[in-house]
Structure formats: structure tokens, C-alpha cells
Amino acid sequence: MRALLKAVLVLVSLALVQSAILPHYLEPAFNPDLLLVLMVFLTLRADTSVSLPAAYGLGLLKDCLSGIYFGLNAFSFLVVYLVLKSVSERLYVQSCLLFVLTVSVATAASLVINVLLLLVFSQAPTLLASLFNLLLPHLLVNAFVASLVSVVPDCGSPRTTSP
């Protein structure tokens, strides 16, 4: 029960920081995607029974907070999760440098999936230009946030497994 309360507290605080605090102090291109970083962390460290619903739920939460198409981020988070989970069995997940690289790849993949879905389902001709303008700053900020996660003492902890 204590672990669940701690997880809910972390999730609520990350959602509040990402949606209510940081947009007032940072330009939109430099807002970190804290929910994506948490999703990648859970993908690499948690069991599938925990991380799969968490990935979809974090995407839905991001959709609720962002106010754009509902389900867009949930789908992209789920696709990124499935690819990362299939590759994570072959990775040394205790490496914090690899975590930063994985967050960077997940950020780029999520943006590309979102843009492809928006190109298919919406009428936005300038979407590709906005992607290229936002990709590098967003990728660098998420990599920086992921490097800060490596300062957390649990970064070197082993992956949790189910009995």
C-alpha cells in the first residue's frame, strides 16, 4: 500500500509540474516530457504487468493534460513501449547513460509517430516544419531530464520481476 501511495504521489507531482508549473517558466519547445521519461523508466525497470498499463495510462494522462486529440499520445506511448520492451531484454538496463539514450530515442519516436498520425488524420500542411523546429530542443531537454534521473539513488537498482 505504501508503494502504491508513493507511485501515485510521484505521478501526480510529475503531472502537475509538467502541465501547470513548467509552461509558465519555459518556452513550449523547452518543456520536458516528464511522463515520457517516467514511461521509459518503467519500461526498463518494471515488470510488464505494471509497465504496460502504466504506459497506456501515462499517454492518456498526457492527452488529457495537453488538450489535443484524445488517444494520440496514448497510442504513441504504447507503440514506443512495445518496441522498447522487446529490445530491453537485450539491454543492460542499469546503465544510466543507456537510459539517457533510450529516452532520446523514445522522444524522437514519439514525436514522429504523433506527426505521422496527425498527417493521416488531420489537415495540417505545416506540421512537418513544426516537427523539425521542435525536435532538437525537445530531445535535448528530455535527455537532460533523463540524466537528472540518474542522480536518483534508485537508478542503479535492479529490475523488478514478478515471482
pLDDT digits (tens, 9 = 90+) for 14-51: 888 888 888 888 887 788 889 999 999 888 888 889 88
Residue 85 lies in a domain: yes
- Residues with Cβ within 8 Å of residue 94, at least 6 apart in sequence: 155, 156, 157, 158, 159
pLDDT tier, 163 (very low <50, low <70, confident <90, very high otherwise): very low
* Residue 143 belongs to a domain: yes
**In this predicted model, which residue has the larger pLDDT, 74 or 157?**
74
Number of domains in the chain: 1
Is residue 99 a contact partner of residue 149, using CB atoms and an 8 Å limit?
Answer: yes
Yes or no: say if 138 and 27 are a contact pair by the CB < 8 Å rule: no
Amino acid at 72: L
Dihedral sign for Cα 49, 52, 55, 58, please.
negative
Residue 17 lies in a domain: no
pLDDT in tens, 81-134: 999 999 887 777 677 888 889 999 999 999 889 888 888 887 766 776 777 788
Q: What is the tens place of the pLDDT at every residue in 3-12? A: 778 888 888 8
Q: Is residue 42 part of a domain?
A: yes
Q: How many Å apart are CA 133 and CA 127, to the nearest integer?
A: 10
Q: Which domain holds residue 110?
A: 33-156
Q: Is 116 within a domain? A: yes
- The reply to whether 98 falls in a domain is yes
Angle between helix 72-88 and helix 96-121 axes, rounded to 10 deg: 140
Q: Quick one: DSSP state of residue 68? A: S
Q: Assess if residue 150 is contained within a domain.
A: yes
